[in-house]
Structure 1
């Protein structure tokens, strides 16, 4: 079974999550391609898709939204999982559907799951505008990704795909 794991990432944190998901799925015997959405192309050659994006101010990055919109019918016709990564994911039991504004996309493609992971928060890599927007955020810089949670989610996907 061929699986595409694709994501949009501003600074690389979400890309690292996509890579980890891809490794976990590959370890379970699935044929996996991992690529940024800007290079993913048509999903029709894949049996399943995992699509993710970093979230900024509650929204997916435009390249991820554009990819999803362009592939809407294809995503709706095959098993698809969504993940988001960002500060909202560091909250206890963050509700992905409320924390990320994706209701229309979720309704259109009907993913099997949408999960919200913590991300990497590093003001040093941000531009001045981004730092200004986040000045009131009391969160200290740090890596809020839970790699065990990410691996468990990827294994749950593999459980559904490996027959």
Structure 2
């Protein structure tokens, strides 16, 4: 059997979500999966992929517009393919403390894409952040790096386990 091909698409403003996508790709690749990380706004076709992971940064309680646009553009093509979603953004340890429900736009993408799961990872906001609000957050001492690479890797391994468990199913669904 050929190794599955997984697209990890992401919407990011300051690079934190892109770096989470890279951690996911590295973890998937280490498990023998062919994986590519690409900005969600640049993906034109998902046909060559067996599964998709879609991530979006959280800003002011909204899921990144490129992640929302990806979900709209590719909903029909993703029908029947395994899809997982993630958000990144809490600037504290809350994402590691327990499951955070998806914001409304991410919840809509879960429904629209029939996603198997949504999870939230901590984000990162540094002095290099762009945008007035982001700079103000950092200036007020509320920035930092709250990503947890070990948790991201573990989540990625659950994706691999599901892909392997469903490898014999024509639809990829249990």
TM-score normalised by L of structure 2: 0.82
Which runs of structure 2 are paired with 1:124-139 in the superposition (5 Å)? 124-131=128-135, 134=137
8 Å CA contact retained: 2:91, 2:125: no
Change (3 A) 1:45 1:96: same
* 1:116 has 2:106 as partner: no
Unaligned residue ranges in structure 2 (runs of 5+)? 166-174
8 Å CA contact retained: 1:89, 1:117: no
Change (3 A) 1:10 1:35: same
CA distance in 2, matches of 1:54, 1:131: 16
* 1:93 has 2:115 as partner: no
Match of 2:170 in 1: none
Match of 1:41 in 2: 44
More deviation in 38-47 or 4-13?
Answer: 38-47
Match of 2:149 in 1: 147
Unaligned residue ranges in structure 1 (runs of 5+)? none
* 1:8 has 2:14 as partner: no
Change (3 A) 1:124 1:88: closer
TM-score normalised by L of structure 1: 0.87
Q: How many residues align?
A: 159
Per-residue deviation, residues 27-52 of structure 1 (Å, max 9, x unmatched): 11111121111222211211100000
- Measure how far apart 1:89 and its partner are: 6.8
8 Å CA contact retained: 2:10, 2:56: yes
SS in 2 for 1:126: coil
Query: Which of 156, 159, 164 is the matching residue for 1:157?
Result: 159
CA distance in 2, matches of 1:155, 1:131: 35
More deviation in 62-71 or 84-93?
Answer: 84-93
Runs of 4+ in 1 over 6 A off after TM superposition: none
